[in-house]
Amino acid sequence: MSKLTEKIKTLKSIDYKKAAKDFWYGKPHGERRLGDLYEDKTGLYKHREWRGVKDTMYYFNNIWLYNYAHMVTDIMKYGGPVLFAKGVWRYRWVGQSYLCVMHWFDRGLEGMRGEALQASAWHYRAMVSETIRQFMRMFAADTKLHNGEKNELWYKTFAHNETVSGSIFYPWRDKFDDVPLEMVPYFVTCHVNSDTVLNYIDAIQSVGLPADPCPMCQAESGLGILDDYPDYSPLMITSNEACDGSVATSIIQDWFLNRPLYAMPQPMRFDDPLVHEHTMREIEGAWKFIEEQTGVPFDWEQYCKYAERANELTRFEREKWDVDANTPYYPINGVAQALYRIYYSQDGDRQIWHDTDKKVRKILEKCVDEKIETFPKTRHRAIAWSCAPLYYSHWCTWAYNCWGINTVINMDSLMFNQLLRTDTYEHALDDLARYNELAPMRSMAVGGQEHIFQLWDYMEKFHCDMVIMYDQLQCKGMQGIKGMFEDEFRARNIHAIWMPHALPDKRTVSRMEIRRIINDYMTTVMHEEPLDPSLLDFDDSMGW
């Protein structure tokens, strides 16, 4: 009888009106307790997040089902399931990342609602689609999947370093495809699954490389050591990316690829007119190299066509920045904005980016017209500077949900900010050289104090009151200027949280440790209480 009485009391104490409201709209921020969803150590969900009827149905139909269906459709479109199965069997990075894709969506979109959920998800969808197109093109041309034979696609595909922008290849886009060698096996995979590149880092260290060079270069070299690069092109164009470590990567790639290779180094200190002239000549050298290797001449009309299309993307990006900087109506979260921006800028013009921007523009204009505050719990507008932890790119989703820290812009998002003139050949080459000088990490990470300290201008432009200062422990360039940043932060009275990490290697600094550093700063320096205490401390050490 006492148990029945207790149950009756419990039922009477329920606020059914609020329960119905929470069911229909989802619990408000502060009552969600998103951390309670996690399985201990894995970070996987015990059950799906309930976002209210409308947003849950949108997620299930327009994100979850839609993306699974289109992942299959993309496989069928770009080569079929047999070719895909061969690639999965041959290259471990495919299955490790492809099967984790929707968990990647879940992490990056956690807690999001309405227009912000929709716009951010479209950016993720575009990256997934283009990733599938890239690795299926690799597989279709790969001699390792075709009994060592070089088929027609092998002769019609260019391989290049991931920081050699796709814009370099616009003059041949009507006859050839260009696929970056490391973009999918390295860059994309460790965002989706933080375990994918660890064995490649171990592989290069096992043959004698010290552990202190950049883990990015280590992983890219290890892919060569373990023979996990597809053989899909008769030539290779490399770059120095942003440091000397990547030069060593190019050397190792040259050994293992064993084919004609053109090194197109992009200088860090490029403000000198003579150095800029050198960059222009390097690009022309790459063009001449392609002509010599393929017998197909430079096509000015093709270059102009794709350069103008790329300019459309850049103009819209600037429009997005304007809304982001000056209103609370920007519907894209920090991780979706940064990954999409760096991906399409390096990949070059593709139809998928235009299709995505068209969808996002409608959502953006709706938010502005109807004054929809997309991140209403924002306490701090943060700018993230330097190179981000690739194994924890979704930390800014956590930071907003837990602390109200809204990462409105990232350093890498601001790269490649250059329109490409097409009125004359010299103007085109001048702008293309500047475009490639502004590649990720090349300008604002190691490009000299005047570029690195553009941080202050962008803080003002985007009305930021906080800096998340990425501290890549093995980046010699940024480590060398750390003391100067500290002096400037103190002199300018800026709240800056230093986030140590090892780029793709989660073993050096764990995700849990990153969260604890932010938690400590917010409690001891800012004296603030978390919006969602369930996100303060959890173990995801075994998580992807």
The predicted-structure confidence for 423-445, as pLDDT tens digits, reads as follows: 999 999 999 999 988 876 777 76
- For all residues of the chain together, what is the average pLDDT? 91
Supply φ then ψ for residue 407, to 5 degrees.
Answer: -80, 95
The predicted-structure confidence for 437-477, as pLDDT tens digits, reads as follows: 887 677 776 766 777 889 999 999 999 999 999 998 877 66
Asked whether the predicted pLDDT for residue 150 surpasses 70, the reply is: yes
Quote the tokens at residue 194: 């933080």
pTM: 0.94
Asked whether the predicted pLDDT for residue 245 surpasses 70, the reply is: no
Q: Which of 507, 474, 499, 524 is nearest to 198 (CA)?
A: 507
> Cα–Cα distance between 193 and 427 in angstroms, integer?
42
Residues in the chain: 544
Cβ-based burial of 109 (10 A; exposed 0-12, middle 13-18, buried ≥19): buried
> Cα–Cα distance between 445 and 342 in angstroms, integer?
15
Neighbouring CB atoms inside 10 A of 19's CB total 10
Are 441 and 385 in contact by the 8 Å Cβ rule? The answer is: no
The predicted-structure confidence for 308-332, as pLDDT tens digits, reads as follows: 999 999 999 999 999 999 999 999 9
What pLDDT band is residue 243 in, cutting at 50, 70 and 90?
A: low
Cβ-based burial of 157 (10 A; exposed 0-12, middle 13-18, buried ≥19): buried
Helix (H, G, I), strand (E, B) or coil at 444: coil
What pLDDT band is residue 230 in, cutting at 50, 70 and 90?
A: very high
- Strand-pair category, 466-472 with 495-501: parallel
Distance between the two ends of the chain, CA-based, in angstroms? 49
The predicted-structure confidence for 344-365, as pLDDT tens digits, reads as follows: 988 999 999 999 999 999 999 9
Alpha carbon 24 to chain centroid, angstroms? 33
What pLDDT band is residue 490 in, cutting at 50, 70 and 90?
A: very high
Q: Work out the average pLDDT over 288-298.
A: 98
> Cα–Cα distance between 432 and 419 in angstroms, integer?
9
In which residue are the tokens 């064995």 written?
Answer: 199
